[in-house]
Amino acid sequence: MFCGLDFGTSNSTLGVAQHGQATLVPLQHQNTTLPSALFYHEDNGAIDFGRDAVATYLDGGDGRLMRSIKSVLGTSLAKESTQVGNRRVPLKSVIADFIGEVKCRAEQHLGTELDSIVQGRPVHFVDGDSKADQAAENTLLEILSSVGFKNIKFQFEPVAAARHFERSSAGERLAMVADIGGGTSDFSVIRIAAHDRGGVPAEDSVLGNFGIRLGGTGFDQKLNFWRIMPLLGRGVMLPKERMAAPNWIFHDLATWSQINLLYQEKTMRDVRWAIDAGGEDIRFRRLERTIDRRLGHQIATDVEAAKITLSESTAAGIDLSYLEANLRQDLTLDDLHDVLDDSMDRLAAAVEECLVMSNVAAEAVDMVLLTGGSTEMPLVQEAIRKVLPASVIESCDKFGAVGSGLALEAAAVFG
Ligand SMILES: Nc1ncnc2c1ncn2[C@@H]1O[C@H](COP(=O)(O)OP(=O)(O)OP(=O)(O)O)[C@@H](O)[C@H]1O
Ligand SMILES: [Mg+2]
């Protein structure tokens, strides 16, 4: 049987389609989204997935939490491995463990084997490097075949979202699809059909695609690096060395996909060196505690929650008392504006580039179709609206549109 898989940086979904109707399969209890997270237990090698993985980590389980694993595709990290207890797990196998589990859960639910797949992919896994981009797709292809898929096709994520949307759309319109998720921002200019195409994508309906490697995990990273890491010593001068503490530790600690790579003796040596050279500055002690107790993902989770709160209110507080009694950081919408100013310019430029690639003027675009969790951010919507002020903004299922669209395509290709 065939399916569509949206393997997301933050969340994944798997869908199947019959008679032009897509259904997302429940992957964790009644939830059709499975957070793209794994927890490898150190003692017995067992693996928890999705919400269970995050819960085990937050409960202080012994082992490794892995998140944002899609981000390693197309980078040198794809060849790296991470230490779990006394064994090293290649990051490619981590992705295979995750996708294999999604396949297995879906098969159990459906009561049949899945052997054919339309797999979603961002327009670009990496920016401006077509070789790395192809390498990323090849790695994903290898992984999909290693977990048992025999027929594999790829489709751009925003194109899939449009396929889902046009099922319920009335009237023919020219749409800019903006899929802004955890890892990438993807755009397609598409002629949304007025009629039911039975899931068969008309080749010429897609006028152009563009995408950049920027998304919600990157927004978390910036907020974390500029507003939380100073509390752990970022930018603090080391009087004995006449230089600031090494920036790479703070950069990696704030970056979802790199956090685990810090939990090794070398980092502790550098942190102890900073404590010594920094005259026992309390901030470096917090850093030491973070590495020692593996609190990096806890901080990143709290920063993400604060960012999400700022989609609806003007202030959010982060309780850091697990690092030090009474430690907290209050953030405002202005903080988010400050740290994401450049990112929003990049987003707007990517929308413009997509128009150029599609040979379409901004005024010709009837509607903007939003999908992906990060389109909940008013800042993101403003950045898009700046380029397309006259277009109507419509939303489709923020977390399920891509998976449903991929399922429809799978039915069209393999059905
Ligand atoms: N209300 C909200 N406000 C701001 N950001 C949000 C909100 N809800 C979710 N997000 C962010 O959306 C991102 C996840 O979105 P989504 O599930 O669409 O990504 P993904 O499909 O896994 O990633 P990608 O498609 O880039 O690989 C996360 O960074 C999350 O913090
Ligand atoms: Mg996505």
Q: Is the CB of 377 under 6 A from ligand 1?
A: yes
| 3-state SS, residue 256 | coil
Burial of residue 30, with CB atoms counted within 10 A of its CB: 0-12 exposed, 13-18 middle, 19 or more buried: exposed
Instruction: Assign 86 a pLDDT band (cuts: 50, 70, 90).
Output: confident
Position 169 scores a pLDDT of 79
pLDDT at residue number 82: 85
Mutate-to-test residue for ligand 1 from 374, 380, 381, highest number of ligand atoms within 8 A of CB: 374
- Per-residue pLDDT at 171 exceeds 90: no
Q: Would the pLDDT of 10 be above 50?
A: yes
Give residue 296 CA to ligand 1 midpoint distance, Å: 19
| Model pLDDT, residue 142 | 97
Which pLDDT score, from 0 to 100, does residue 195 have? Answer: 55
pLDDT tens digits, one per residue of 293-319: 999 999 999 999 999 999 999 999 999
- With a CB cutoff of 8 Å and minimum separation 6, the contacts of 240 are 276, 277, 278, 279
Mean pLDDT of 221-230: 98
What average pLDDT score do residues 73-100 get?
91
Mean pLDDT of 20-46: 95
- 384, pLDDT greater than 60: yes
Cα 282 to averaged position of ligand 2 atoms, centre (Å): 40
Q: How far, in Å, from the CA of 8 to the mean position of ligand 2?
A: 5
Residue nearest to atom 12 of ligand 1 (CA): 373
Question: Is 255 a pocket residue for ligand 1 (Cβ < 6 Å)?
Answer: no
Per-residue model confidence (pLDDT) at position 194: 63
* pLDDT in the model for residue 331: 98
Is the pLDDT at 201 greater than 60? The verdict is: no
Ligand 1 centroid to Cα of residue 89, in Å, is 27
> What average pLDDT does range 365-378 have in this prediction?
97
63 lines ligand 1 (CB under 6 A): no
Rounded to the nearest angstrom, the distance between the alpha carbon of 70 and the centre of ligand 2 is 11
State the distance from the centre of ligand 1 to the C-alpha of 12, rounded, in angstroms. 11
Ligand number with the minimum distance to the CA of 215: 1
Using CA atoms, how far apart are residues 365 and 335, in angstroms rounded to an integer?
Answer: 32
Instruction: Pick from 126, 308, 331, 370 the residue to mutate for probing ligand 1's pocket: most ligand atoms within 8 Å of its CB.
Output: 308
Tell me the pTM: 0.95
Q: How far apart are CA 299 and CA 115, in angstroms?
A: 39
Q: What is the mean pLDDT of residues 172-193?
A: 95
Ligand (nearest to CA of 381): 1
Ligand nearest to the CA of 70: 1
Ligand 1 contacts CB of residue 304 (under 6 A): yes
Q: Tens digits of per-residue pLDDT, 235-293? A: 999 988 889 999 999 999 999 989 988 988 899 999 999 999 988 899 999 999 999 99
> Which ligand neighbours the alpha carbon of 211 most closely?
1
The percent of residues in the chain predicted with pLDDT above 70, rounded, is: 98
Q: What is the mean pLDDT of the chain?
A: 94
Q: What is the mean pLDDT of residues 197-221?
A: 84
Q: Ligand 1, from 5, 6, 7, 9: best to mutate by most atoms within 8 Å of Cβ?
A: 9
pLDDT in tens, 344-353: 999 999 999 9
| DSSP count for the chain of H helices, then E strands | 12, 20
- Integer CA distances (angstroms), 40 to 91, 220, 257, in order: 12, 24, 15
**Strand, helix or coil at 157?**
helix
The predicted pLDDT at position 199 comes to 47
Domains of the chain and any CATH numbers: 2-170+397-414 (3.30.420.40), 217-337 (no CATH)
* Binding site membership of 217 for ligand 1 (Cβ less than 6 Å): yes
Give the model's confidence band at 132: pLDDT under 50 very low, under 70 low, under 90 confident, else very high: very high
**142-168: pLDDT as tens digits:** 999 999 999 999 999 999 999 999 888
Euclidean distance between CA atoms 30 and 91, whole angstroms? 29
Whether ligand 1 lies within 6 angstroms of the CB of 218 is answered as: no
Atom of ligand 1 nearest to the CA of 217: 29
pLDDT(100) > 50: yes
**pLDDT interval class at 203 (50, 70, 90):** low
Residue 226: name the closest of 352, 81, 335 by CA: 335
Q: Which among 21, 2, 34 is positioned nearest to 105, based on CA atoms?
A: 34
Task: Give me ligand 2 centre to Cα 272, in Å.
Answer: 39
Q: Strand locations in 42-135, DSSP E?
A: 47-49, 63-67, 81-84, 87-90, 116-121
- In whole angstroms, what is the distance from residue 192 CA to residue 204 CA? 11
Confidence check: pLDDT of 180 > 50: yes
Ligand 1 atom nearest to 304, measured from its CA: 31
